Structures are given as C-alpha cells and as structure tokens.
Structure 1
Amino acid sequence: MTTRWLEHAQEHSDIEGFRLIGHSDLGGHGDGFQVIRRDELLYVAHLGTSPMALSVLDVSDPADPRLLHQIEHPRNTRCHKVQVAGNLLIQNNELPYWAKGADPAPITGLTVYTLDDPTQPRPVGFHPASGVGTHRLWFSEPPLAHISSVLPGGSVQSYEIVDLSDPMNPASVGSWSVPGTFPDDVDTWTRAEDQPQDGVHGVIPHGDRAYAACFDAGMAVLDISDPSTPQLISHISWSPPFGGFAHTTLPLPARGLVVASSEAVPRTLQGGDKRIWLIDVTQETHPVTFATFPDPRPPARHGVSSYHDLPGVFGPHNLHENRPGSYISEETIFATYSNAGLRVFDISDKYAPREKGYFVPPPAEGQEWSAMNDLYVDAEGIVFVTDRLGGGLYILQYVGR
C-alpha cells in the first residue's frame, strides 16, 4: 500500500513549503501518534485503535522507510506517547477514552524499555499510575522523566518526576498538582467551560523551570530546582474568554516566550475556537498572552472559508518540541492541526505570526478526513508526521517559502 498511497497522496494533498518524499502504512496499523528519531531509527507510538503500541523503522533513506519491529499494547490500554534518551525508551500506558468500563481493566502507568538492541526495545521496568493512567512524557536528560500521571488519591493527572537511574525500579521523585486535584484541596483554580478538563496535560522542562499545560486551567510556570518539591511561580489562563484545553507549552528561552497550543477536542468545544498563543514570560511571575497564530484557511479549491466547514475536527494539537538533537528554532514553529494537517509559522516578528507552509494529506481509505496529531522535525529539516485515523506516517522535506 505504501508506494501506491504515496503516489496518491502526492497527487491529492494540499501542500506548500514542503515536499512529500516518503510514507509508511506502519504494517497496516496506520494509527500513528507521537514519533521520535534516534540516529537512523524512528520510533512511532500508536493511538491504540490498532493492536500496536510501538513501531520501529529504519529511516536512513527517508524516501524508503522500512518497518523493522512492532510491539503490541496490553488490551484496553493505549500507549500513544514515546520518548528516547540515553539507553532507554519510555511509553505511557493509559485508559483510552473509547474503552471506559471495558474488561479486562487497562494496565496504567509508564513502561521502561532498554535499547541494548535499538531495533528491538525490551521492557525492563514499569511505574504504575492510578485512575486513567499516564498521558504525556518528556525524557531528554536521564535519569529524570517528566510525565503527567494520576497519583494515588487524585482525580486527574498531575505532574510527576520519575527517576530512571534503575530502569527496573522507577522511583517517584516529586510531583505537583493543579489545585483541586485531590478531594481535600482547599483551593481550586477556576475553569469556565461547561465541561472543564482538569489536571496537567503535559510538561516541558528547561533548566530549573518547567512549563505545564493544564487543560482548561491554562499554563503553570514551575521551579524544579529541587525536583522533589516543584514550586508554583505563576499561572495564566486564557479561558475565559477564549477556548481552553492547553495541550503543549513550548518554551523559547532565548526570547523569553512560550508557545502554547489549545487542543481542539469535540467534547470540549464549549470554549469556542482553539488557538496557538504566544506568551511573554520575561517576568515569569507575571506571564502575559499577547499574540495568537493566524487561523489556517483551506485552499480555494475546497469552496469553503474555514476548516470548520470540512469533515473532522479543526484546531491545534501538538507542536514540534525543539528536543535536543532535533531541528531547533525559536522563530519557525511547526504544528499539527487535525483536519488542517501540518502547518508551519514564522514568528520572527513575535507580534505578527504568519503562516509559511502546510501539508494536508487525503483521508485514509474508509475515512472522511485526516487527523494530523503529532510530528518530529529532525536536524536536517525532515518532518515525520502521523495521521491517527489510519493514514500512517508521512515524511516531508521542509523547503520553506
């Protein structure tokens, strides 16, 4: 299917600023999600609608990705995030939203793999979580992993720092929770949507700071100089009056900025359109939102003025996260936008972000729309982006415009 589909996608995609060079259907399990490159290998996590948790591909020739190995997920469990650092690979274990009440119960927490053979990750450790389990991960400087996970007694996910010095026995070092996470919390952060999402969605650390995306509660800036006791420095929320569901909070430390995406999710549309925000954190005790990225618009051939008028969910999801060893820029921001595909923005003028490229593939066979949710850009500007609705992995060269 891959060669045929690549030709189909090259003919039927909306594309500008990119060149589509490769595709993988991930062995017929096209529900790709988070993706990360290490040397010549690409690790792709799966949404969980297929039996797979992880695919390992050889991408030494990006135009000809070769599937080397796959690992299945436990029943009624999704493992849609993946991170690699040192000799370890980690994946989340979480209850999928479509499997609530299913039997058997999910296995929730954090799975630790060794990469003694990088093509064959081998599980060696597990860090359990309560409730729905573990969602997002950041692991770039061993031995500490930064995860969002439900702690004992908590109702939603918290920020947890986990020590992987002994991969067979992961140990919790410290944690921080949105006020209102535990039944005896006196204070709670106000959230305005009719069906608010609480807790910590994900965290990106930089030095002794961590930037936590807190769903409808916005962003928290944390001091993690002592990982055992993360301390709140400040908090900012843009909901109300704008849509919440903060997904990714990407620090741009040289510019004193954070790029924050608000995820578009059907069950939390009450807050209106979701956007990507620029936040000034030069005075970290007083962060300020001051600009938003422009809304992507469909090409004229579609005959509509908004992606809201096309099938599927429209709005931001994840950003390329400037991981060490990847493409790193504080002026060029890559973002996934669900049915609006992959977009790239120029924020060299921070007050006037502008779009400068896009890629929207045709929907996978049997689907009405493509859902681009996650991506990774390597140091050479090769973009690996996934379509969670069965479209698999697309590989593009960013050429700018």
Structure 2
Amino acid sequence: MSAVQLPVPDFARDMRLIGYCDQGGRPDGVQLMVHRGYAYVGHMFSKGFSVIDVRDPRRPTPANYVAAPPETWNIHLQAHDDLLLVINAKDMFAATEFQDERAYYCGALGEKVGTASRSSASRHWRAGLAVYDISKPDAPREIGFMPVEGGGIHRVWYTGGRWAYASALLDGFTDYIFITIDMDDPRRPVEAGRYWIPGMHAAGGETPGWDRTRRFGLHHPIVHGDTAYCAWRDAGMVILDVAERSAPKLITHRNWSPPFGGGTHNCLPLPDRDLLAVLDEAVLDNQADGEKFIWMFDIREPSNPVSIATLPSPSEIDYAAKPGHFGPHNLHENRPGSFVSSEIVVATYQNAGVRVFDIRDPYRPAEIAALVPPTPDRLVDSRQNRPLVIQSADVFVDANGIIYSTDYNGGLYVMEVESWR
C-alpha cells in the first residue's frame, strides 16, 4: 500500500504528524471523542457530526456522517460504552445576529437569542440532548432525546452511569446554566437539577449584578466524584457540590475577570495532586480580548482555590500578530479510558496549534512539545471576515498517547510526541 501524503506542519518541536483526514469533505470540527477505534467529531459549519475510523491512526478514514436537524448544531458530544450523547442547540454561528463573532461573546446570550424574556416555543431548531446507540461504532442510531425549552444544550459531561451534566440555555435565563441529567433510562433522559449564578433568572425577577457586556454563562462542567468544576466564561470558575443531584450547592465562586479577559472554558481537576487546571479561551482575533492563560490552582482547600502559576504561552513567533485567534481553546480532559495524567497537560492554542506541558512542578510549568498544522486548503467558516488560518479547536489523547486534534477549517490531525514513542 502506498504511503499517505501528509500535510507539512508550520512548526513542530518533539511532535510529528502521523495521520490526517478531511472528514469526508467536511473538514470543520469542534469537539471529538475517540472511542473503540472511532473518532466522533461534531461540526461547526457543516452541521451534524461525523464518524472517522481511526483503528489505524495513520490512515483515518471517514465512516459515516449524521446530519443535524434544520437550524441546529451538534458541535459537542460524549461517548461512553455503547452510548453517544450529542447536544442539540440553535445554530448560533449561522444566525444573522452572530455573523460578527464579537456579538456572540459579548453580553447575555439569552437576551440576544430571545429566550431570556420570552418562550422559545416558536423556535425553528431542535433543543435538547440526543442519545445514540453506538454498539455498532460506525452506525450511530438515535434511541432517546431529552427536549429542553430554550436555545438548547451547549456541552455535556458524561463518563457512564446514571448521571450526566450539561450547560443549558433555557427559557427565562440570561445565559447557559448548570443542569444534572438522569440517564437511568438512556431512552428517556430527564433533567434532575439545576444551578445558576444569582442574577441569571430573568423570568424569576432576578437582575444581573455585573457589567451587561459580560458573558455570565456556563461553558461546561467536569465532574469528579460529587464535585462539579464549572467553567463559567466571564464569571470565572464555579465549584459545586453535586452529591444531591437534584439540588447542586455552591462550594465557591472565583472570578479574575477583570482585570483578565474572561472566557473561562475548562476546569480540569487533577484530584490525586489537589490541583486544578483552568483554561481561559481566546475568543477574538489578535488578542483583542487580552492575553489568555491556562492557570494552575491549588485546591487542597476546595472552598479557597489559590492560583499558583500559569502555563507559558507559545512564543517562537509573534502569534498575536498572526491572523485569527491566538490563545488557549480546549484541554484534553482525562476521560476514563483515554490518556489520564496529572503531570502532563495537552491543549489547543488555535493559531498556535497543539501544545504539551509538563506540570510535575506545578509552580513552574514547562512546554515540552508542540505542533502547528499548516494553513487549511479552504475556508469552511461561513461568518463574515474570517481569515484562512489554522484554528486548532479540540484535542483528545487516547490511552496509547496518540493525539487527535480538530480545526474550524482544516480537518482531523493525528500526531504523537516523539519522546513517547
């Protein structure tokens, strides 16, 4: 069999590209899960999600594509055992009001979508959580759906068992809030509990106590045991006690924006070391929203997390001057069955590609490997004035240390760290 011609990275240090796939002509991707030899990729602009056969990671091959309902996006998903959970929400980036991306990241999303002050019963999108049977990995079959009244679900966390957790834009709320989902019967998942920052429940007469230009909305939680670590965008980090799933309780809320630029996207617990890695997403071009960081927190006392370091920003060229977003976007989240480490952090940095960090000394994190994919062949992003540039979006590391990364326009990149071979 002839060798596969791989793209040539713009930059690589102690990493190499071993596989590539254009995802069946739909090269835009957001969240991905690698599960039982298949990658499940949610699309940002091509709608729906794709299934890629990665049993040979050097020859990833499109295996299936599942279309989204009209005006709906499926950008985030979770896989565990024979289940795939896929979010359904308003296709925000296809909407007229969000063609300028700054409008999406500034102010209360529910007010712009219209769900904060009125019912979304007349919506034209599908809102909720879809459950697929993936016992045949390349043939997802929808078996259940949990509808929600509102804009829909943004991102979900599920690692098996009875409980899932999600961010949901619901009627009457200014932005995404935290919900627990009872998965006891996967064919009939139901909401079990919810938490929001006081001031978000507009229909309940609450009024925000923060600057109205800020996005006080949950991106998503990561749950370990009975604790949910919630990335709440411009509201920073919210830690919840979810021992009683129907009544989540606040442990602590920490916000460092301002003076920093907000956009908190991931809160990754490293419980064996009492550490928490917290990533702030860069959401505007050329650092117009300020320099964003991945923070290290000491959480020995959960009610009083303390920031002890930031991971170093890529600096081999002036990425802030390069077109597009420069800064963190997503972390590998140590899902059961994947690469799990409390000493290595893997992150996407958008126009600076994929970065690997050594945090054995949490006070002095160091970058140990990097790979920046080349400029994509074409622009899939349909929004106005978007540059043709690499924007590495999500990253997943399998149990063998193989790294998979999606891009808004560039397809699926498969890579490995040289020193791990």
Common topology (TM > 0.5) = yes
The question of 1:322 aligning with 2:334 is answered yes
* Aligned AA (1:29): R
Q: Could you tell me whether the CA contact under 8 Å between 2:77 and 2:85 is conserved in 1?
A: yes
* Aligned AA (2:225): G
The verdict on how the C-alpha distance between 1:393 and 1:380 changes in structure 2, with shifts beyond 3 A counting, is: same
Alignment of 1:129-140 (within 5 A): 129-140=148-159
The question of 1:378 aligning with 2:420 is answered no
1:83 to 50, 74, 78: 78
Q: Could you tell me whether the CA contact under 8 Å between 1:190 and 1:217 is conserved in 2?
A: no
Structure 1: gaps spanning 5 or more residues: 299-304
Write the distance in 1 (CA, Å) between the matches of 2:303 and 2:273. Answer: 16
- The C-alpha deviation readout for 1:101-143, integer Å capped at 9, x for no partner, is 6998221211111123222111122112333211111110222
Q: Give the Å deviation of 1:269.
A: 6.1
Match of 2:382 in 1: none
- The C-alpha deviation readout for 1:148-167, integer Å capped at 9, x for no partner, is 11234222111111112222
The question of 1:68 aligning with 2:63 is answered yes
Structure 2: gaps spanning 5 or more residues: 98-121, 380-387
The verdict on how the C-alpha distance between 1:395 and 1:189 changes in structure 2, with shifts beyond 3 A counting, is: farther
Larger mean CA deviation between 104-113 and 261-270 belongs to 261-270
Write the distance in 2 (CA, Å) between the matches of 1:259 and 1:190. Answer: 25
Partner secondary structure for residue 24 of structure 2:
helix
The verdict on how the C-alpha distance between 1:366 and 1:121 changes in structure 2, with shifts beyond 3 A counting, is: closer
Q: Could you tell me whether the CA contact under 8 Å between 1:93 and 1:108 is conserved in 2?
A: yes
Match of 2:90 in 1: 95
Q: Give the Å deviation of 1:270.
A: 6.2
* Aligned AA (1:387): D
Larger mean CA deviation between 244-253 and 160-169 belongs to 160-169
Partner secondary structure for residue 330 of structure 2:
coil
Partner secondary structure for residue 318 of structure 1:
strand
Q: Give the Å deviation of 1:268.
A: 12
Match of 2:104 in 1: none
2:355 to 337, 343, 350: 343
The question of 1:50 aligning with 2:46 is answered yes
Write the distance in 2 (CA, Å) between the matches of 1:326 and 1:93. Answer: 25
The question of 1:217 aligning with 2:213 is answered no
Q: Could you tell me whether the CA contact under 8 Å between 1:178 and 1:189 is conserved in 2?
A: no
Match of 2:414 in 1: 395
Match of 1:360 in 2: 372
- The C-alpha deviation readout for 1:278-298, integer Å capped at 9, x for no partner, is 111111111111211111113
Partner secondary structure for residue 266 of structure 1:
coil
Q: Give the Å deviation of 1:312.
A: 1.0
- The C-alpha deviation readout for 1:48-103, integer Å capped at 9, x for no partner, is x114x121122111111122111011222110111012321111112233233699
1:166 to 169, 185, 190: 185
Q: Give the Å deviation of 1:266.
A: 1.7
The verdict on how the C-alpha distance between 1:185 and 1:267 changes in structure 2, with shifts beyond 3 A counting, is: farther
1:256 to 251, 264, 274: 274
Q: Could you tell me whether the CA contact under 8 Å between 2:200 and 2:207 is conserved in 1?
A: no
Alignment of 1:274-285 (within 5 A): 274-285=292-303
Partner secondary structure for residue 308 of structure 1:
coil
* Aligned AA (2:57): P
1:16 to 9, 13, 18: 13
Write the distance in 1 (CA, Å) between the matches of 2:237 and 2:190. Answer: 26
* Aligned AA (1:357): A
* Aligned AA (1:28): G
Query: How many correspondences in the alignment?
Result: 386
Alignment of 1:125-164 (within 5 A): 125-164=144-183
Q: Could you tell me whether the CA contact under 8 Å between 1:195 and 1:268 is conserved in 2?
A: no
* Aligned AA (1:85): H
Write the distance in 1 (CA, Å) between the matches of 2:378 and 2:286. Answer: 26
Write the distance in 1 (CA, Å) between the matches of 2:253 and 2:285. Answer: 24
Write the distance in 1 (CA, Å) between the matches of 2:54 and 2:162. Answer: 27
Write the distance in 2 (CA, Å) between the matches of 1:177 and 1:347. Answer: 32
Q: Give the Å deviation of 1:360.
A: 0.6
Write the distance in 2 (CA, Å) between the matches of 1:379 and 1:270. Answer: 37
Q: TM-score, normalised by structure 2?
A: 0.87
Q: Could you tell me whether the CA contact under 8 Å between 1:159 and 1:176 is conserved in 2?
A: yes
Write the distance in 1 (CA, Å) between the matches of 2:151 and 2:41. Answer: 22
Write the distance in 1 (CA, Å) between the matches of 2:131 and 2:334. Answer: 23
Across the aligned residues of Structure 1 and Structure 2, the Cα RMSD in angstroms comes to 2.2
1:118 to 137, 145, 159: 137
1:38 to 30, 35, 38: 35
Match of 2:125 in 1: 106
User: Identical aligned pairs, as a percentage?
Assistant: 39
Write the distance in 2 (CA, Å) between the matches of 1:154 and 1:269. Answer: 29
Q: Could you tell me whether the CA contact under 8 Å between 2:286 and 2:324 is conserved in 1?
A: no
Alignment of 1:257-296 (within 5 A): 257-266=275-284, 271-296=289-314
Q: Give the Å deviation of 1:46.
A: 1.2
* Aligned AA (2:170): L
Q: TM-score, normalised by structure 1?
A: 0.91
Larger mean CA deviation between 332-341 and 126-135 belongs to 126-135
